[in-house]
Amino acid sequence: MNTQKSKHLFEKANQFIPGGVNSPVRAFKSVGGIPLFIKKAKGAYLYDEDGNRYIDYIASWGPMIMGHAYEPVVEAIQQKVIDSTSFGAPTELEVQLAQLICESIPNIDRIRMVNSGTEATMSAIRLARGFTGKNKIVKFAGCYHGHGDSFLIKAGSGAVTLGYPDSPGVTPGTAQDTLLAEYNDLQGVQKLVEANQGEIAAVIIEPIPGNMGCILPQEGFLEGLRQLCNRENIILIFDEVMTGFRLGFGGAQQTLGIEADIVTYGKVIGAGMPVGAYGGKEEIMDFIAPTGPVYQAGTLSGNPIAMIAGLTLLQYLKTHPEVYLQLDQKCEAIEIGLKDLLESKPLPYQINRIGSMISLHFTASPVVDFNTAANGNNQYFKDFFHGMLKRGIYLPPSAFESWFLSNALSLSDIDQTLAAAKETILEMETFAFGSRH
């Protein structure tokens, strides 16, 4: 596969953009090699600057649930854009999108639009702090909530009251207000709550994490969190930036039958435009300015082009629930296919899947939290990633990311994907267990 133009562009990009990219995971650092520069995409396919075609399993990290350049969205944007791209004043479209969401999701009475998932989670914890008058938050190792200071805190293995900043530039003061727990470990959260009585404003969690691969909640874990938060007057925030409108129209809340106090959205809600949102019950949401004292604003929030894109996609998804069934079946076909290929092989593996999110981990033990996800063999992952890429299958360039399917994927695309996986696995076997010895 010729990728000369991407190579050239990446060299040039490095002169003008830090690391050549505007978001780190795009740089292929954890898998090595040169990132592909994408020229266009249609349906399930990405085309790079050298004209190579790839079957896409990132879907822009989620938003392109109906595939790229989905006609109704493209047409809606084209029609709207001639009326100007922004007004800095309210529009009917914002009301329509908010109404659609509030009427579809039982525990959302009001919703505020922002420009990214990061803004949504940052605003959600500010609101939770303002509403409860408490300062600390609990987050889970391996859950990603965007790049707000409070979320860039890593597990200080067993550190109960002190979090350590994960990034220079995050102050110790901020880090101290973020308490870390392990996903699927309810007791750990209970201990944190006991050690910080009356100080915890919110627990924020990806109810079904997609940022350490795809991880499923164990029986009782989220139910237990819900009860604990009720008992202790802690705001439970579900970060559904990834799962919202993807696992089903009602997201993880609907799939799991558990309601959070504040829910954050992003990705699918903007159909590929920069949109995020946070919503919840009236009494909490009315604490935001201008009704309430918690300040949060945005020059481009509720941008009309972003709103028409999101509204068009969500209206379609709401009236076509079969999309979710089809996505589930397609993803199941991939799961079964990969299992068939790997079952008889000496490569240790785990596959986690729910709906159209799936991840493959090269490890022998079940992947249930950050530590077990981090146990995966990264060399195997790199080999698998590059083996697939050179066969025209574009997977997330990190073992810590879920794959995202779009409904534009055809059965023949899936067959092609599995054929590429078969060759890749054979190549890995030969390399790992043949020629190396």
Nearest Cα neighbor of 224 from 188, 197, 263, 179 is 188
Q: Is there binding between residue 402 and ligand PLP (CB under 6 A)?
A: no
Based on CB atoms, which residue is closest to ligand PLP, 146 or 163? Answer: 146
Return the number of the residue (242 or 421) whose C-beta is nearest ligand PLP.
242
First-residue to last-residue Cα distance in the chain: 29
- Residues annotated as catalytic (active site), given as ranges: 144, 239, 267
R_g (Cα) of the chain, nearest Å: 22
One of 35, 67, 117, 310 touching ligand PLP (CB under 6 A): 117
Question: Cβ of residue 244: shortest distance to ligand PLP, in angstroms?
Answer: 9
Which of 206, 369, 383, 413: binder of ligand PLP (CB under 6 A)? 206
For residues 187 and 201, give the distance between their C-alpha atoms in angstroms, rounded to a whole number.
18
Q: Taking contact as CB under 6 A, which single stretch among the options 144-152, 303-311, 370-378, 411-419 is the one that binds ligand PLP?
A: 144-152
Region binding ligand PLP by CB under 6 A among candidate stretches 64-72, 224-232, 238-246, 419-427:
238-246
**Adjacent-strand bridge partners of 235:** 202
The reply to whether 211 sits near ligand PLP by the rule CB under 6 A is yes
370 Cβ partners below 8 Å, 6+ apart?
140, 141, 142, 155, 182, 183, 212
Per CB under 6 A, the list member of 114, 153, 186, 241 interacting with ligand PLP is 241
CB of 418 to ligand PLP, least distance (A): 27
Shortest reach from residue 160's CB to ligand PLP, in Å: 25
CB of 222 to ligand PLP, least distance (A): 15
Angstrom distances, CA of residue 174 to CA of 39, 217, 234, 359: 40, 28, 19, 32
Helix 378-390 vs helix 411-430: crossing angle, to nearest 10: 130
Q: Which of 242, 277, 373, 414 binds ligand PLP (CB under 6 A)?
A: 242
Sole binder of ligand PLP in the list 112, 129, 145, 226 (CB under 6 A): 145
Interaction of residue 144 with ligand PLP, rule CB under 6 A: yes
* CA quadruple 19, 22, 26, 27: dihedral, nearest 10: 0
Q: Which of 6, 121, 178, 417 binds ligand PLP (CB under 6 A)?
A: 121
Residue 52 near residue 37 (C-beta atoms within 8 A): no
Minimum gap (Å) between residue 146 Cβ and ligand PLP: 3
CA distance 390 to 423: 11
Least distance to ligand PLP from the beta carbon of 126, Å? Answer: 15
Here's the x/- map for ligand PLP, 304-343, by CB under 6 A: it reads as ----------------------------------------
Which range binds ligand PLP by CB under 6 A, 159-167, 235-243, 289-297, 298-306? 235-243
Stretch that binds ligand PLP, among 204-212, 227-235, 318-326, 361-369 (CB under 6 A): 204-212
The whole-angstrom separation of Cα 213 and Cα 217 is 13
Q: How far apart are CA 219 and CA 147, in angstroms?
A: 30
Q: In the bound complex, what is the minimum distance in angstroms from residue 205's beta carbon to ligand PLP?
A: 9
Pairing of strands 235-239, 262-265: parallel
Interhelix angle 71-81/304-319, rounded to 10 degrees, is 150
Instruction: Answer positive or negative: Cα dihedral of 30, 34, 40, 41.
Output: negative
Which residues between 258 and 287 bind ligand PLP (CB under 6 A)?
266, 276
Helix (H/G/I), strand (E/B), else coil: 27:
helix
Please count the residues of this chain forming the interface with ligand PLP, following the rule CB under 6 A: 15
Q: What is the dihedral of CA 160, 162, 166, 167, to 10 degrees?
A: 170
Per CB under 6 A, 130 contacts ligand PLP = no
Binding site for ligand PLP (CB under 6 A): 116-118, 121, 144-146, 206, 210-211, 239, 241-242, 266, 276
